[in-house]
Amino acid sequence: MSKFTRLGNQLYTGKKSIDFVGRRWTWYAISAVVIVAAIVGLSVRGLNMSLEFTGGTQYTVTVSGSADQPLADKVRTSVGNTGVEAAADPTVTTAGAHNLIIQIKSVSTTENNTVLKAIKSTTGATTDDISQDHVGASWGKEVATKAVQGLIVFLIAVTVFIAMYTRQWKMSVAALVALAHDVIITVGIYALVGFEVSPATVTGFLTILGFSLYDTVVVFDKIKENTKNLRATKRSFAAACNLAVNQTLVRSINTSIVALIPVAAILWVSAVQLGTSTLKDLALALFVGMAAGAYSSIFIATPLFVQLKSREKDVVDSERRAAQRAKQADPYAHVPSFAEGMEVDDNGEPPAEANAPEEHAFRGRTAPQTRGPVRDSGAAGRPQPSRQTRSKRGK
């Protein structure tokens, strides 16, 4: 664990840095491939809509013995032979250790009783053990309409919220693109794998949008902080953003782990105990979406934001300054500066924390600046070198 926290420190100071911003085309390419796969999956296979959307009847039977395939086959035959037209071709699946799920088309009350009788006689279940869902077709439509409405309203609200929060339209755009990225990928995974989409899935799905944004907000918060005073930080805009992502990386990983632990617990317990249920659908959507959300806030949102900003004057200036500084880099930068009690190691890296120099972009000694810092001066109308008096400089 301490290695991880040590990594946290190195990421924080910039000693170790993963180039999220610079290698953006790699991340874009990865996302593009996944998104294309998602869209192809969606258009070819479509979504596996659950009974709540399509309408029909579903029985969940809790059997006392184990719910296995032979029993499911027996139930399928007996339900199919009831003579009820809607139940002519039932779908029977096992769910968890003790549950059977039987799906048929919509039935009337009398037909329902016939089917129930067949189920009871085959499985030995009592009325208490059987749960029924009867869903009318237009009810499903209503649920779907509501879901779409919710999605649209949420996206609008989120756009407004993000715009108000960031006050930079480019940041909003980046956050929304990351959001869309998550949405497409999650939907695509559902289409490709063929997971069932139920209203609970949609709920989970809408929650993901919140989560994805939550992650992005935290990262952008740090970016705002790091780039507030771009001149003073002596970093290029891209580097400052990259540092922000690296600094929040530990938090992002921790957050994702902590958020995924309960979801995984739900997923596991419900899959083992219940087979299929509201809980499982919800947890699955959350699981897929959270993973995508964590990825997009780091790999998509920030690089995209940097790219959108790359033409702005401030950013270009900072880029130029950084390039200039890099040119003037200390030729002895790789030579470690001496510290008291420093380990002497010929082939390894020098212990990084030994007297960490202030400018973290380079290792080792920091070259003294050739010129003093430059400050805007209102009086002169152009930047003036600002140099404090000799006594104040401590000479």
Partner 1 sequence: MASKTSRPGRTLGVFFLVLAIAYGLVALGGSWKPELGLDLQGGTRIMMIAKGHPSAEAMKEARNIIDQRVNGSGVTAAKVTTQGGNQIVVEIPGKSRDDLVNEVSQTAQLRFRLVACQNTCATSSTSSGTSGVTGGTGTTGGTGTTGGSSTGAQRAGLGFDHKATKKAKAKMQQKAAAATPSATASAAPSASASPSASATPSTSGTPDQKNDVSVDDAVAFMNNPPADEVAKFDAYTCPTSGAPNVTDDPSQPLITCDAQGQKYLLSPAIIEGTQVSDASAGIPQTGVNYVVTLDFHGAGRKAFADATGAIAGTNQLFAIVLDGQVISAATADSRISGSAEISGNFTQDTATALANNLKFGALPVAFDKENGISHTTVGPSLAGNQLSAGLWAGAIGLLLVMLYCLIYYRGLGLVVISSLIIAGASTYAMVLLLSKGAGFTLDLPGIAGLIVAVGITADSFIVYFERIRDEMRDGKSMRVAVDAGWVRARSTCLAADGVSVLAALILYIFGAGDVRGFAFALGLSTIIDLVVFFFFTHPMIKWLSHFKFFNRGHRLSGLDAEALGIDRITVGGRA
Considering only residues 252 to 271 of the shown chain, the ones binding partner 1 according to CB under 8 A are 254-255, 257-266, 268-270
Q: Minimal distance in Å, beta carbon 236 to partner 1?
A: 21
- The CA distances from residue 385 to 128, 208, 237, 373, in Å, are 85, 51, 23, 6
Residue found under tokens 């009831």: 82
Residue 14 touches partner 1, criterion: CB under 8 A:
no
Residue 22 touches partner 1, criterion: CB under 8 A:
no
| Cβ nearer to partner 1, comparing 38 with 95 | 95
SS3 of residue 362 by DSSP: coil
Residue 144 touches partner 1, criterion: CB under 8 A:
no
Tokens of 234: 């002596």
Residue 278 touches partner 1, criterion: CB under 8 A:
yes
Residue 353 touches partner 1, criterion: CB under 8 A:
yes
Among 235, 232, 252, 216, smallest CA distance to 320 is for: 235
| Part of the chain binding partner 1 (CB under 8 A), chosen from 104-112, 302-310, 369-377, 382-390 | 104-112
Q: How far apart are CA 82 and CA 80, in angstroms?
A: 6
* Residue from 69, 131, 377, 386 binding partner 1 (CB under 8 A): 131
Residue 171 touches partner 1, criterion: CB under 8 A:
no
- Burial class from Cβ neighbours inside 10 Å (0-12, 13-18, 19+) for residue 73 reads exposed
What is the CB neighbour count within 10 angstroms for residue 110? 9
Cβ atoms of 12 and 247 closer than 8 Å: yes
Q: Minimal distance in Å, beta carbon 208 to partner 1?
A: 9
* Residue from 250, 291, 333, 367 binding partner 1 (CB under 8 A): 250
Residue 217 touches partner 1, criterion: CB under 8 A:
yes
Q: Minimal distance in Å, beta carbon 316 to partner 1?
A: 29
Q: How far apart are CA 118 and CA 292, in angstroms?
A: 45
Residue 91 touches partner 1, criterion: CB under 8 A:
no
| Cβ nearer to partner 1, comparing 28 with 161 | 161
What count of residues does the chain have? 395
23-28 long-range Cβ contacts below 8 angstroms, 24+ apart: 24/303, 24/304, 24/306, 24/307, 27/299, 27/300, 27/303, 28/300, 28/303
* Residues 35-54 within binding reach of partner 1 (CB under 8 A): 52
Phi, psi for 354 (deg, rounded to 5): -65, 115
Residue 304 touches partner 1, criterion: CB under 8 A:
no
| Cβ nearer to partner 1, comparing 10 with 384 | 10
* Residue from 43, 44, 127, 331 binding partner 1 (CB under 8 A): 127
* Residue from 273, 307, 337, 384 binding partner 1 (CB under 8 A): 273
Residue 26 touches partner 1, criterion: CB under 8 A:
no
